[in-house]
Amino acid sequence: MVFIDETSHLEPQKTSEFNSPKIVDRFLAALIDLIFFCFLGYVLLSPLRRQLTISKLVDSDSQFINSYTQLALGFLFIGLIYQLVFVAWKGATPGKLIFKMKVINIWDRKKPSIVSSFLRSLFWWVSFATGLPFLSVLTNEKRRPFYDRIADTEVISLTGRVSAAPARSIVMAVRFAAVVGLIIGAGIVGKFCVHFYLHGEEMNEWRDELQAMSAQSCEIVSEAQENWPEEDGEVASRLSVAMALFSANAISSECLGVEAFRSFQNGDQIELAYLAKSFFNSDDADLSDSYLKRVCQEAPKSEACGFSEMIELWTDRSWSEATQKFKEILLHGSIYAKVWAIKHDERVKDFSSELALIEGLWPQKYLAEFLGIHRSVALWGLQRKDEARISLVGALEMMEPNDRAEISSWFCLRELADSCSGATLPSCRSFYDFASSNEDSLATASLAVTYIKATECREGDKVEYENLIGKIPNEQSTIFLRALTYLKNGKTNEALGIFKPIARDPRWDKAYRDEAIGRLVGILKTEEDLGEFVDIWKSEDSLSWEWRSQGLQLFQRFQKLNFKEQALNVGKILFDKGALDEPLRKNLIVLAFQIGQKKMAWTLLHGDGDRAPASLDSFDEIKYSLTKEFEKGLK
């Protein structure tokens, strides 16, 4: 393949002779031309590219639209001139020259005139833009797309590498494909138009919503501020609103950062801006701490300063001091502080206080999701489970699917801890439906554990752990499920060989470790084996539900295996942390009494004001006996 000699000319040919180049050559020639004029466009239109970049940098919409339009038109123009000049001058574009093709006029078999070249170029562009007319190279008997027919031109090969007239079957296939393509294309466009006609307003809202979602605009803060209640008898500041929304996960940290930036620019509520920046930089602990320290330097007696001190107490896990601090902070009346107080109360299991705060803020439209979830949690914590379930259904409806999965998983796991009948309740149904259709979400360990438990409850003995391995895209879950398979097949030692390292190894996700401890407690039989996990359990966060759940499991297991001393130890710890409900407390008192720890039994009983007369109940008998013995002593 070489460049064609410029002096070469075409021999006149008979019009009837069919001399169309090979299709593959034509497409390659078109591709090469495309590369050439893109290259030309890149060079010639570079000043416009520069303008476009500048318009983006200075955020000028009008300049951007101008530059973009000029760039598009310039590109079209270069394509047009490229075709026109080369066809009129050389009788072929460079791509065609490389493949030894020529464009000729069909009447005189010579190079096309300028007018004919122009017409051909113009309609070639239409073809290029829409794509479809090019297909007639495959279907037209003379391999002439419509721009060749309009310009009375034809592309011929000078090498003898020609293609035959298209076979009927190919013509039909291409036409069929074109019609199908057109119908699908028209359908898509039509659907869009109808949708736009019917839901134009909605689409505008959707666009507005998209804008609002962008971290920079923070439109939701403006909107919320208009409908925000007064704080401490004054109109809430924009930053205070943003802090509340951020605390309730209603805006991103970027949005909070922008609001803090605004506050700095306006010189307004600088101490709160520093507090906001400490949240914004929470991924950099040192920087975040520097911001916290700065809050009190800026305004030592402000609410923000009190809040920053409270965060330090939280970090040190000084819960009771933090509770005290919250009482001071809440006097100021800021909603963001109340949002954090709700989180705090939940953390320290003060569900009554949490519920009171939630009711005080209810119904706040922009915090509805947060309040709904935490109301459900508080009600659950107060053992008002039916109300919690009703509240949860309402909260789930407001949530995004991923958040919904997380919350429903949280509740489902707790429902299933009581009994498998929980699998039919709304939280488990909602979670299971979501997880079954979004298996990727199960890569999150806590969701995967709930899914495994929900499946066990649904399928009972028929559960196939091997099937779950394929569904849960998580390496740790594969190992965990293998242990469950061993357990199901009666290979307890093999299962223990997997569960024990999981429970001990802090590199494992906490959800799997907790679940492994739970499973181990149900399997292990010796005091020594169980003792190891009592030590692990003691070192965990005693305020978590998982801690309480594991403690109860250990307590009941020791009792079942008749290790009364150990059961009493675990039970006492649970009692001290307020994690024993009434039946279990009675259980513990009976246990203490039985093994001769009467003083402890009395301590556990003390405060029980119910002085029922002796009855058939062993607890009441013990209670009567203890009361007699110790109250005498006291007297």
Partner 1 sequence: MLIPYLNGIVWFAKAPMTWLLFFMNFFVFIYFMNNQNNVQNQMRTYFEKNAFVANQGILYSQFIRKNPASFSPLLQTMSKSIYVDTDSKAKIMGQLAFRDALFMEKGTKENYSGDQVAVENWKDNVRQIASIQKRSASFQYGLSHEHSGPMNWLTYQFMHADWTHLMANMFFLLIFGAALEPVVGSGMMALIYFVAGVAAAYSFSLLSGFAAVPLIGASGSISGLMGLFAGVFKNRPVKFFYWLLPRPNYVGFLFLPAWVALAMWSLLDLGGLLGSVEELGGTAHAAHLGGALFGLVIGLVLFRGSKATA
DSSP element (H, E) containing 477: helix 475-488
Nearest approach in angstroms of CB 98 to partner 1 is 8
Near partner 1 by CB under 8 A: residue from 97, 241, 273, 373: 273
**Do residues 487 and 500 make contact, with C-beta atoms less than 8 angstroms apart?**
no
For partner 1, which is the closer residue by CB, 4 or 85?
A: 4
Give residues 163-222 in contact with partner 1 (rule: CB under 8 A): 215-216
CA of residue 264 relative to chain centroid, distance: 31
**Quick one: tokens of 451?**
């899914």
For partner 1, which is the closer residue by CB, 50 or 599?
A: 50
- Encoded one letter per residue, x for contact with partner 1 by CB under 8 A and - for no contact, window 130-169 reads -------------------------------x--------
What does the alpha-carbon distance between residue 556 and residue 42 come to, in Å, rounded to a whole number? Answer: 77
436 binds partner 1 (CB under 8 A): no
Q: Cα 279–281–285 angle (5° rounding)?
A: 100
Give residues 25-54 in contact with partner 1 (rule: CB under 8 A): 28, 39, 42-47, 49-50, 53-54
For partner 1, which is the closer residue by CB, 161 or 317?
A: 161
Sole residue written with tokens 């190992």: 479
CA of residue 503 relative to chain centroid, distance: 28
What does the alpha-carbon distance between residue 75 and residue 68 come to, in Å, rounded to a whole number? Answer: 11
What does the alpha-carbon distance between residue 555 and residue 569 come to, in Å, rounded to a whole number? Answer: 8
For partner 1, which is the closer residue by CB, 46 or 402?
A: 46
Near partner 1 by CB under 8 A: residue from 6, 59, 440, 582: 59
For partner 1, which is the closer residue by CB, 28 or 132?
A: 28
Nearest approach in angstroms of CB 71 to partner 1 is 10
What does the alpha-carbon distance between residue 294 and residue 290 come to, in Å, rounded to a whole number? Answer: 6
Nearest approach in angstroms of CB 163 to partner 1 is 14
- Sequence letter at residue 551: G
Sole residue written with tokens 């209603």: 250
Nearest approach in angstroms of CB 40 to partner 1 is 9
Nearest approach in angstroms of CB 5 to partner 1 is 13
Near partner 1 by CB under 8 A: residue from 11, 57, 419, 634: 57
The count of residues interacting with partner 1 (CB under 8 A) is 40
For partner 1, which is the closer residue by CB, 52 or 156?
A: 52
Nearest approach in angstroms of CB 128 to partner 1 is 20
Give residues 65-94 in contact with partner 1 (rule: CB under 8 A): none
Near partner 1 by CB under 8 A: residue from 8, 58, 197, 535: 58
For partner 1, which is the closer residue by CB, 3 or 197?
A: 3
**Do residues 95 and 33 make contact, with C-beta atoms less than 8 angstroms apart?**
yes
For partner 1, which is the closer residue by CB, 54 or 177?
A: 54
Nearest approach in angstroms of CB 252 to partner 1 is 10
5 binds partner 1 (CB under 8 A): no
Q: Cα 37–39–43 angle (5° rounding)?
A: 115
Nearest approach in angstroms of CB 64 to partner 1 is 14
Near partner 1 by CB under 8 A: residue from 82, 274, 336, 555: 274
21 prior amide bond cis, ω within 30: no
For partner 1, which is the closer residue by CB, 164 or 616?
A: 164
DSSP element (H, E) containing 483: helix 475-488
Segment interacting with partner 1 (CB under 8 A) among 192-200, 251-259, 335-343, 598-606: 251-259
For partner 1, which is the closer residue by CB, 34 or 348?
A: 34
Near partner 1 by CB under 8 A: residue from 64, 128, 134, 261: 261
Q: Cα 329–377–413 angle (5° rounding)?
A: 140
Give residues 444-503 in contact with partner 1 (rule: CB under 8 A): none
Nearest approach in angstroms of CB 280 to partner 1 is 7
24 binds partner 1 (CB under 8 A): yes
**Could you write out the DSSP letters of every residue in 66-80?**
HHHHHHHHHHHHHHH
3-class DSSP assignment, residue 619:
helix
What does the alpha-carbon distance between residue 354 and residue 515 come to, in Å, rounded to a whole number? Answer: 28
For partner 1, which is the closer residue by CB, 53 or 204?
A: 53
For partner 1, which is the closer residue by CB, 86 or 274?
A: 274
**Quick one: tokens of 627?**
């009361």
Nearest approach in angstroms of CB 298 to partner 1 is 9
**Do residues 242 and 218 make contact, with C-beta atoms less than 8 angstroms apart?**
yes
For partner 1, which is the closer residue by CB, 27 or 192?
A: 27
What does the alpha-carbon distance between residue 340 and residue 329 come to, in Å, rounded to a whole number? Answer: 11
Near partner 1 by CB under 8 A: residue from 258, 329, 377, 379: 258
What does the alpha-carbon distance between residue 325 and residue 307 come to, in Å, rounded to a whole number? Answer: 8
For partner 1, which is the closer residue by CB, 92 or 495?
A: 92
What does the alpha-carbon distance between residue 263 and residue 221 come to, in Å, rounded to a whole number? Answer: 13
For partner 1, which is the closer residue by CB, 277 or 623?
A: 277
Backbone angles phi, psi at 317, to 5 degrees: 60, 35
63 binds partner 1 (CB under 8 A): no
CA of residue 610 relative to chain centroid, distance: 51
Q: 145-149 contacts: CB < 8 A, separation 24 or more?
A: 147/119, 147/120, 147/122, 147/123, 148/103, 148/120
What does the alpha-carbon distance between residue 277 and residue 289 come to, in Å, rounded to a whole number? Answer: 10
Give residues 537-596 in contact with partner 1 (rule: CB under 8 A): none
Count other Cβ atoms within 10 Å, centred on residue 101. Answer: 26
Nearest approach in angstroms of CB 99 to partner 1 is 10
**Do residues 445 and 452 make contact, with C-beta atoms less than 8 angstroms apart?**
no
Could you tell me whether strands 153-157 and 101-105 are parallel, antiparallel, or unpaired per DSSP bridges?
antiparallel
Nearest approach in angstroms of CB 202 to partner 1 is 27
Torsion sign across C-alpha atoms 339, 345, 346, 347: positive
**Quick one: tokens of 634?**
């006291």
For partner 1, which is the closer residue by CB, 283 or 461?
A: 283
Nearest approach in angstroms of CB 587 to partner 1 is 51
Give residues 384-403 in contact with partner 1 (rule: CB under 8 A): none
Farthest CA pair distance, the chain: 133
Give residues 275-294 in contact with partner 1 (rule: CB under 8 A): 277, 280-281, 283-284, 287, 290-291, 294
Nearest approach in angstroms of CB 67 to partner 1 is 12
| Site of interaction with partner 1 (CB under 8 A) | 1-3, 24, 28, 39, 42-47, 49-50, 53-54, 57-59, 161, 215-216, 254, 257-258, 260-261, 264-265, 273-274, 277, 280-281, 283-284, 287, 290-291, 294
